[in-house]
Amino acid sequence: MKKNKLMVFTATLLLSAGFVSTVSADVTLKHGYIDVPPSRAVLCKMTISKSNNIKFNKNCGPVEYEPQSVEGLKGFPNGGPEDGKIASGGNETFSALNEQSADRWHKVAMKSGPYTFKWKLTAPHSTASWRFFITKQNWDVNKPLTRSSFDFTPFCQRDDDGKIPQEIVELNCNIPERSGYQVILGVWDIADTKNAFYQVIDADFKK
């Protein structure tokens, strides 16, 4: 009798351990990042062979391993991440992304006009909207990103009304006229949680 009880107890422990492991895996599911053009976080992750003439970001901290996890409170620009913490989504784990200067980050060449942004998702969520903001022409490139750095009105927005997106989400936008170094902020607003995912793109606009 004691042996049977021991076997039941052991089985219960094993099942519990398996359950905990499953829950833990669900909790740590990753979510999504802007792949085209490569965001600041993605350029922290990229491993480039010496044969490629592509630059990438260095000394980024943990985001190098999970660019898809830059998640914080939604509601930008009225709410959401605090000023100075916008690039990290207000997530302290990724605070290195908040560093800002004229030459801290590699910039991707972009042009104003029609452009298709691509988010790559590793754990799709019920979606409220996709929005893109851009810095004002004369923003201070050597100070942390704040709300006042950006135009408050998104230059591109798509409302998904709670739909579950596919793994690749393409958004056709029209980028306003800009020149020089600008930052584009992509916000993926989740419908059934209080959070959103944040991605910034360091762009160099040339005529």
pLDDT in tens, 31-90: 899 999 999 999 998 654 444 556 689 999 999 999 999 999 999 999 999 999 999 999
Q: What pLDDT digit, counting tens, does each position of 132-169 carry?
A: 999 999 999 999 999 999 999 999 999 999 999 999 99
Do 85 and 56 fall within a single domain? yes
Do 22 and 78 fall within a single domain? no
Do 110 and 9 fall within a single domain? no
Count the domains in the chain. 2
Q: What pLDDT digit, counting tens, does each position of 88-123 carry?
A: 999 999 999 999 999 999 999 999 999 999 999 987
Do 25 and 97 fall within a single domain? no
Do 73 and 9 fall within a single domain? no
Do 20 and 112 fall within a single domain? no
For 39, the domain range is: 31-205
Q: Which helix (H) or strand (E) holds 165?
A: none
Contact status, residue 137 vs residue 179, Cβ threshold 8 Å: yes
Residue 21 has pLDDT above 50, yes or no: no
Q: Which of 182, 186, 207, 204 is nearest to 196 (CA)?
A: 186
| The overall pTM is greater than 0.75 | yes
Do 131 and 40 fall within a single domain? yes
Q: What pLDDT digit, counting tens, does each position of 183-192 carry?
A: 999 999 999 9
Do 50 and 118 fall within a single domain? yes
Q: Which helix (H) or strand (E) holds 127?
A: strand 127-134
Do 77 and 142 fall within a single domain? yes
